[in-house]
Amino acid sequence: QSVLTQPPSASGTPGQRVTISCSGSSSNIGNNYVYWFRQLPGTAPKLLIYRNNQRPSGVPDRFSGSKSGTSASLAISGLRSEDEADYYCAAWDDSRGGPVFGGGTKLTVL
Amino acid sequence: QLQLQESGPGLVKPSETLSLTCTVSGGSIRSSSDYWGWIRQPPGKGLEWIGSLYYSGDTYYNPSLKSRVTISVDTSKNQFSLKLSSVTAADTAVYYCAKPSYGDPNAFDIWGQGTMVTVSS
């Protein structure tokens, strides 16, 4: 059981905009930054978003993050087939004294 | 360009200690204000933070694993290591070493390729 809650799956067609949600509590998302990672099969996760909405260098602006209260979202616009992957959210958790992750969302590009 | 590489046994017996090393290349493990971390992923499941090491030597562990985990650094070899004692099948996972960037200890930006560790007799 993950501390942060994500839908297990999401889907979209090429060119479409999709969003993936991440729900937490006041001890994590509510009072701390949110991070998003993408993981292709058999590879290590890649940082997509840090501090709620900041993109690391090299991450295209098709990816954007937002946070409101104890929930956060990752939006992907102009969906491409190569976006098909697992997406994880994360946040520092004050009660646990470390980062916690969501269970992951498998994005399928139809 | 900083790179990380995990190494260690791929098979560990139940009740024994899992030991992994992360070798840092392309930079010094003693760079000021740097954190270094271990994260694992059981087969088909999500990510779990194990613990982090600050450049000063301070360590921070997941409370659910704290009694069994030790993370340490060997600056002479530019490596940091993970020891997890009394392992069970539940500790079977891909283990990643990772380094945060952007001045944020949770922004794990550089990852090793991961190493699969199976706990089985």
- Please give the full DSSP string across A74-96, using - where no structure is assigned: EEE-S--GGG-EEEEEEEEETTT
Which residue from A2, A35, A44 is facing B106, i.e. has the nearest CB? A35
Tokens of B70: 């030790």
A98 with B47: Cβ contact below 8 A: no
CA–CA dist A79, A60 (Å, integer): 12
Which residues of A touch chain B, with CB atoms under 8 Å apart? 2, 33, 35, 37, 43-47, 50-51, 54, 56, 88, 90-92, 96-104
Which residue from B107, B112, B113 is facing A35, i.e. has the nearest CB? B107
CB B22 within 8 A of CB B5: yes
User: For residue range A33-82, what is the model confidence (pLDDT) as tens digits?
Assistant: 999 999 999 999 999 999 999 999 999 999 999 999 999 999 999 999 99
B52 with A54: Cβ contact below 8 A: no
A44 with B96: Cβ contact below 8 A: yes
User: For residue range A3-39, what is the model confidence (pLDDT) as tens digits?
Assistant: 999 999 999 999 999 999 999 999 999 999 999 999 9
Mind telling me how many Å the CA of B121 is from chain A's nearest CA? 25
Averaged pLDDT, groups of 10, chain B, 121 residues long: 96 98 92 86 96 90 97 93 98 97 93 98 96
All residues of chain B having their beta carbon less than 8 Å from the beta carbon of residue A97 are 60, 63
Size of chain A in residues: 110
CA–CA dist A22, B44 (Å, integer): 19
B63 with A98: Cβ contact below 8 A: yes
